[in-house]
Amino acid sequence: MFPIVSLNIGTPREVRYGDGRKLKTALQRSPVEGKVFLDLLGFEGDQVADPMNHGGRDKAVCGYPADHFPFWSQELSRDVLYASFGENLTLQGLTEDRIHIGDRFRIGEAEIECSQPRQPCHKLTKVMEYPKMAARLQKLGYCGYYFRVLKQGWIQAGMALERIHTDAAGIAVVDAHHLMYRDKNNFEAIEQLLEHPALSESWKNSLGKRLANRRT
């Protein structure tokens, strides 16, 4: 069981960074109390600023391990609070090496399935005001992950994810992340990942293009 230590909701808003520049993002989510309904596209009241690259069925819910926050607080020399990575679910104990593509979980009335690692975003680097953020996420594999929703239902902080299916392929999120960013020429492993039915369409497209370029 993996407790939800924070359930976070947000909507797009204008954020200032650097020397006063602006960007529109929903990364600055806030913890909420009480029950929130989770449908096939995400939590009620939660939105994304860039629907071309975020949200949708394959990326309805973003999760991030609470276990990493002490590290980031030390790395950035300031308190890094839950929801700082724009995650909907801050989860205790579910680190990237303990969750696999295709793993399924029950939370309250809902059921979700891991679809892909979360990819570092330039907006996260800017909002966190830490230029090394994307590079550090790529190196460490502290990326977080996305879920698709298999069954809708009510969820609230304090509930716990119960793993109801461990995927037989055993491809951990951290391993998929390393194939994208660190082990880019491991084409045998990439082909194995591409064959996984639970992998998101966006990752299939990106990795499929890498294989196609190699062949040509």
How many CA atoms, within 13 angstroms, populate the side-chain half-sphere of residue 78?
Answer: 8
Rounded to a whole number of angstroms, the distance between the first and last alpha carbons of the chain is 46
Query: How many residues appear in the chain?
Result: 216
Written as six digits, the tokens of 62 are 């973003």
Name every residue whose Cβ is closer than 8 Å to that of residue 63 and which is 6 or more positions away in sequence.
87, 88, 89, 90, 91, 94, 144, 145, 146, 147
pLDDT at res. 52:
67
Domains: count for the chain: 1
CA 48 to chain centre: 13
pLDDT at res. 159:
96
Question: Domain residues for 144?
Answer: 2-215
pLDDT at res. 17:
75
Tell me, what CATH number does 58's domain have? 2.40.33.20
pTM (predicted TM-score): 0.94
Write the single-letter amino acid at 74. Q
Along the 216 residues of the chain, how does pLDDT read in single tens digits? 999 999 999 888 877 777 777 778 777 898 999 999 999 999 998 878 677 667 789 999 999 999 999 999 999 999 999 999 999 999 999 999 999 999 999 999 999 999 999 988 788 888 888 888 988 998 999 999 999 999 999 999 999 999 999 999 999 999 999 999 988 889 999 999 999 999 999 999 999 888 888 765
Among candidate residues 43, 13, 16, the one with its CA nearest the CA of residue 31: 43
pLDDT at res. 13:
80
pLDDT at res. 68:
97
